[in-house]
Amino acid sequence: MTGDAIVVGAGVIGLTTAVVLAEAGRRVEVWSRERPAETTSAVAGGLWWPYRIEPREAVGGWALASFRQLSRLADRPDETGVRLVEGTHASTEPERRADWAAGVPGLRPAGHGELPAGYGHGLRARTPLVDMPAYLGYLQRRFAAAGGTVAHRAVPHLAEAGRCAPLVVNCTGLGARDLVPDPRVHPVQGQVVVVEDPGVTEWLVAEDGATGEFLHVFPQPYGVILGGTAREHVWDRSPSPATARSIIDRCARVDPRLAEARVLAHRAGLRPVRSPARLEAGRLPGGARLVHNYGHGGAGVTVSWGCALVAARLADGD
């Protein structure tokens, strides 16, 4: 390649970063051992909501920048896969309202009649809900329209990319554990079940503050995504039948229609967690500028645009 930048990684963080760089006028190529449809991003639930990500002082800005971008894309849901959907974030215990909440139009406390049984507290909001396979396809088309290209290739060393372009952006998520290497990155396994939609029109997240157990119900065009799990340091991507049954049972307790919904698919993915997420610049041995943008846990789509804009500024030396 004789271009300006190589982005390593083709999940939502990598593709969004590549779009921002390409639309700013750079000649950009994405290198990835996985195609976008094979990444963890492709099996994500797709709800905009800051989840399992640090540092807290930066997350609000990243998330709200993404909220604004995704809200604009929701004007064209058939093209982008993004919709604005009403929903409830419920909890058994009072939660301190995060700073970013003030930037979400219409976000308010949920009334008791708006909460699922067993949950006494919550927030109501209209937020982006993203059909991730469709959205990744949209990002690829937008990147190509800006002149970008995607190469399906393994990257054994970041220095290899640095020999091909003066700028390398590392968006490898969990792969950064070996590639950097960075032992602070670790997997948090998430499993979901996709069922036929019995008429669900709103999203729901419900957390038990005492046990840490949670569930979610996300209506997508192709079915309803039921979840979930958060198993630390588990590398297995194989869905567990017992876990799937538990997920369905928990979700059916808050919406009995889901108990008999036909199962369409089982999915599991590994969230790339690092505390804090890494968004910083440096240099590769040959002199190429290196920007790290990884470790976003379960909030990849939620912070994708905000982090991509910061990464672009770091690429410019700001």
Q: How far apart are CA 196 and CA 184, in angstroms?
A: 38
5-41 residue pLDDT tens: 999 999 999 999 999 999 999 999 999 999 999 999 9
Say whether pLDDT at 51 is over 90.
Answer: no
The annotated binding site for D-dopa is made up of 271, 298
The annotated binding site for FAD is made up of 40-41, 155, 172, 297-302
Q: Mean of the pLDDT values across residues 277-282?
A: 98
CATH no. of 5-315: 3.40.50.720
Phi then psi for 108, rounded to 5 degrees? Answer: -150, 165
184-210 residue pLDDT tens: 999 999 999 999 999 999 999 999 988
Q: Parse the chain into domains and list their residue ranges.
A: 5-315
CB atoms within 10 A of CB 61: 17
Q: How far apart are CA 231 and CA 155, in angstroms?
A: 28
pLDDT for 97: 84
The annotated binding site is made up of 40-41, 155, 172, 271, 297-302
90-136 residue pLDDT tens: 999 998 888 999 999 999 999 989 999 999 999 999 999 999 999 99
Say whether pLDDT at 1 is over 80.
Answer: no
Q: Decide if 282 contacts 290 (C-beta within 8 A).
A: yes
Residue 233 in tokens: 């340091």
